[in-house]
Amino acid sequence: MELTIKGLNGQAAGTFQASDAVFGAPLRQPLLYQLMVAYRANQRVGTQSTKTRSEVSGGGRKPWRQKGTGRARQGSTRSPQWRHGGVAHAPKPRSYRQAIPKEMRRQALLSLLSEKVRRNSYTLVEQLALPNGKTKEMGALLKALGVPRSCLVVTRTPDPGVVHAARNLERVRTLPVDTLNVLDLLTYDHLLLTTDAVRRIEELWAQRPRRGAFALAAS
């Protein structure tokens, strides 16, 4: 698959041959929804805590005798039906984490990368030269490239100049390829990446890793 390369002035500067396995995958909406729910669940802290009847202070004495009053029997003033009582089925600290299999994550990433290309919601450049790390430089570059305000900038490795230049821009996020994820690809409308980043993406996700490949390589 041929991707268009743009110069830093916004003009077309040639084409780039990319892998069809990465940028030609079908859109899998159920898979994307499942992973989005999992990512959101994994971001939950799960520290909420409310006291049950056994944790609320007081209530050791029976409020009235068992029989003869005409009222319902009560054992404690800290039962859930009482004011200042405990909470029935109280929330307690817990983990909401959901496991995300590697192959599901890989297929979802390929699906989203391919959809960005199909919708022409990507910009490919040879490199991002921002040695001074100035916000004004990044803003001018995005404007020259015609990139929308909501943009995910992907580089092969963490680039301090790019990170510093983009960190004060609203709706602009920078990521190295190794931390690229489904949630950020869904959140940001446009994808800006370098040719080195594309090659790294192909190295990581173009082919499904064989079982035991790492063990054989280590031996």
Pairing state of beta strands 151-155 and 2-6?
A: unpaired
**How far is it, in rounded angstroms, from Cα 176 to Cα 174?**
7
pLDDT in tens, the chain (219 residues): 889 999 888 888 889 999 999 999 999 999 999 999 999 999 999 999 999 999 999 988 999 999 999 999 999 999 999 999 999 999 999 999 999 999 999 999 999 999 999 999 999 999 888 878 899 999 999 999 999 889 999 999 998 999 999 999 999 999 999 999 999 999 999 999 999 999 999 999 988 877 655 444 444
**How far is it, in rounded angstroms, from Cα 13 to Cα 130?**
19
Domain boundaries, the chain: 2-41+98-218, 45-95
- Give every strand in the sheet of 151-155, ordered side by side: 12-17, 2-6, 122-125, 190-194, 151-155, 172-176
CA distances from 49 to 79, 108, 142 (A): 17, 35, 46
Burial class for 10, CB neighbours closer than 10 Å (0-12, 13-18, 19+): middle
Pairing state of beta strands 151-155 and 190-194?
A: parallel
**How far is it, in rounded angstroms, from Cα 31 to Cα 115?**
14
In this structure, which amino acid lies at residue 133?
A: G
Q: What CATH architecture is 2-41+98-218?
A: 3-Layer(aba) Sandwich (3.40)
